[in-house]
Amino acid sequence: MIELPETYVLAEQIERELTGKTIRSAVANAHPHGFAFYTGDPAAYGGMLSGKMITGTNADPNAIDAWDSNVEIICGDMLLSISTPIKYHAPGAKLPKSHQLLLEFEDGSHLSCTVQMWGGMHCFPYGGRGEVPRQPPGPLTDAFDEANFDGLLSGVKPTISAKAFLATEQRVPGLGNGVLQDILFNARIHPKRKLQSLTDGDKAALLHSVKSTLAEMKALGGRDTEKDLFDQKGGYQTILSNNTLKSPCRVCGAGLIREAYLGGNIYYCPVCQPL
């Protein structure tokens, strides 16, 4: 899946680059992938999308239909909701050998989706969500405020960890294990720390970090560990990632730690984020 900062970066780029272009053809599931998900029969995508014009996306976090963590592309009377990396190919550019969705536009350019781990490429009538359910308010929307955050905290067991709370079950749409690392570092909270140990100040710091860290990642064009619509790395320099693991903590100079936890790696500074 793609995470929230890259979702909005891709949506903004697609809105600028593709609005007004008409889809000549659409091919879904040309190269079957066990963890690629579609709405209904992917063979029907060509008929549903051919001849449709791109008219916009969910680039504005507070716009109607923008609360989903997927990139949403309005194609005339149809909507594409995509949760996997998306690439633009200029006319004449080399296309990927393997793809799970390929749109060709009348000017000869293309848009492709190639699933890495898993991803959805849903297509349904615009205005009807189809098989993709409405999600709770995203963290970059105005609706994601202190009251909403307190409601999320009160709805889970106090014995779960900070990582389990933020990065599992999509309680916060689009927030995954990748962006989690810097969010917890900025809040000075260890990924394994139990919610019941958090003070009111810790909770306030965590909410602020969720919103401010994600906003910075979005503003800088996504993270340097991910690529945008034009196959370029984002401008946000990650604090905790595989890129920085061999470097000392930028705050205290201690060595950073990586370990497996809850189905993925966590990164943390043992001094700045004590357990």
Handedness of CA 232, 237, 238, 241 (dihedral sign): positive
pLDDT at residue 62, rounded to an integer: 60
Same domain, 96 and 156: no
The answer to whether residue 252 sits within a structural domain is yes
The answer to whether residue 210 sits within a structural domain is yes
pLDDT at residue 135, rounded to an integer: 66
Same domain, 100 and 158: no
Encode pLDDT of 29-71 as tens digits. Answer: 999 999 999 999 999 999 999 999 999 998 776 654 444 578 9
CA distance 84 to 13: 15
Same domain, 150 and 92: no
Which CATH number characterizes residue 190's domain? 1.10.8.50
The answer to whether residue 184 sits within a structural domain is yes
pLDDT at residue 162, rounded to an integer: 98
Among 119, 139, 134, residue whose Cα is nearest residue 65 = 134
pLDDT at residue 58, rounded to an integer: 83
Phi-psi region of 255 (alpha: psi -120 to 50; beta: other; left: phi over 0): beta
pLDDT at residue 67, rounded to an integer: 47
Encode pLDDT of 125-141 as tens digits. Answer: 987 655 445 567 889 88
Q: Where are the alpha helices (DSSP H) in the chain?
A: 4-18, 45-49, 146-154, 162-167, 177-187, 200-219
pLDDT beneath 70, residues of the chain: 61-68, 128-135
pLDDT at residue 65, rounded to an integer: 43
